[in-house]
Structure 1
């Protein structure tokens, strides 16, 4: 009966625990790719953040195989912090979109390709809007990841409760 509950399914009617494992695979792959990119670009200090997030994603595997709901929490906390930071970044981007201060326009020009500088100088709001749209998409995905992994955690917790106390019919 526990498996038939719709809370225990994620997209495409996949069991919530399998969904959490898929999320862990996607997250670890994305973190390792980002870390490799940052190392190639010489941003060694920034490469530690994807490494920490990859460890948090790996905790999903450990929680699944250990059947311990509290082991999902490293991911839930790390992803929650990432969602909060991303939300603050979106607010800053919204301010930059509305105000387009001089330093923001200068930063966009300095961080872009020389060939495209004229386009970016003419359309800073377009560039800011595109960055914001990508960040909003990433935020929605991160929030969905958080919900799926949280539901997997509560599923394991309910399984423990049923196994310890037995399924009593009322």
Structure 2
């Protein structure tokens, strides 16, 4: 009866807990790839962020196998912070896209190989728009991850309630 609730299904009719485990696998893999890239680039301080996020994604595994809804919260908090920071970054990018400040245009033009005047004028908006589109996609994915893992947490919480109090009190 608990599995029939639509809140307990992820995309493609996958059980919400399996969806959370898939999210954990994807997140850990992405965090490890990002950490490796940052280490190769010599950004050792920034490499700690994917390490912390990988630990938050790993908490999903631990929560699933321990059947404890509170253990989903490290991911939910870390991902919530990432969504908030990403939203602020998107606002800054939107301002940069609309205004194209001189320092931003100069930095983008110096870091490119384009020398034609018409290309130099359009390049900052193109790059800013592409970065913004990628960030918007990442934000949507992170919000969806948050919803799936939160639903997995509430599912485990309802399972605990049913096992302790019986199905007739639900």
- Normalising by structure 2, report the TM-score: 0.94
Deviation at 1:83, TM superposition (A): 0.2
C-alpha deviation, 1:80, in angstroms:
0.2
User: How far is the alpha carbon of 1:169 from its aligned partner?
Assistant: 6.5
Q: Distance in 2 between matches of 1:43 and 1:117?
A: 34
Change (3 A) 1:33 1:163: same
The 1:101/1:63 distance shift into structure 2, 3 A limit, reads same
Q: Shift in Å at residue 122 of structure 1? A: 3.5
Q: Any idea what SS the aligned residue of 1:168 has? A: helix
How many residues align structurally?
Answer: 170
Q: What is the root-mean-square deviation of aligned Cα atoms in Å?
A: 2.0
Q: Retained in 2: the 8 A contact 1:109–1:117?
A: no
Taking the TM superposition and a 5 Å limit, the aligned residue runs for 1:120-135 are: 122-135=122-135
Which runs of no fewer than 5 residues in structure 2 stay unpaired?
none
Structure 1 runs not aligned, ≥5 long: none
Q: Distance in 2 between matches of 1:163 and 1:128?
A: 52
Q: 1:165 to 1:115 in 2, by over 3 A?
A: farther
SS in 2 for 1:114: coil
1:123 Cα deviation after fit: 2.1
Shift of 1:108: 1.9
Conserved 8 A contact 2:35-2:47: yes
Residues 120 and 52 of structure 1: CA distance in aligned 2, closer, same or farther (over 3 Å): farther
Asked whether the 8 Å contact 1:57–1:75 carries over to 2, the reply is yes
Which whole-Å deviations, capped at 9, do the CAs of 1:24-71 have from their partners, x for residues lacking one? Answer: 000000000000000001111100000000000000000000000000
| 2:16–2:152 CA contact under 8 A, matched in 1 | yes
Shift of 1:127: 1.0
Distance change in 2, residues 1:35/1:124 (3 Å): same
1:99 Cα offset (Å): 0.4
Query: TM-score w.r.t. structure 1 length?
Result: 0.94
2:83–2:143 contact (8 Å) kept in structure 1: yes
- Name the CA distance, whole Å, in 2 between partners of 1:6 and 1:127: 41
Does structure 2 conserve the Cα–Cα contact (< 8 Å) formed by 1:53 and 1:78?
A: yes
